[in-house]
Amino acid sequence: FMDEHPGGDEVLLAVTGKDATNDFEDVGHSTSAKEMMSKYCIGDIDSSTIPTKRMYVPPQQASYSGKENFL
Region of residue 16 (phi > 0: left; psi between -120 and 50: alpha; otherwise: beta): beta
Answer for which of 2, 7, 19, 57 binds ligand HEM (CB under 6 A) is 7
Answer for which of 9, 16, 18, 20 binds ligand HEM (CB under 6 A) is 20
Q: How far is the CB of 62 from ligand HEM (least distance, A)?
A: 19
Tally of residues, the chain? 71
Contact between 36 and 4 (Cβ < 8 Å):
no
Contact between 17 and 59 (Cβ < 8 Å):
yes
Q: Does 17 bind ligand HEM (CB under 6 A)?
A: no
Residues that bind ligand HEM (CB under 6 A): 5-7, 11-12, 15, 20, 23-24, 27, 29-30, 32-33, 36-37, 40
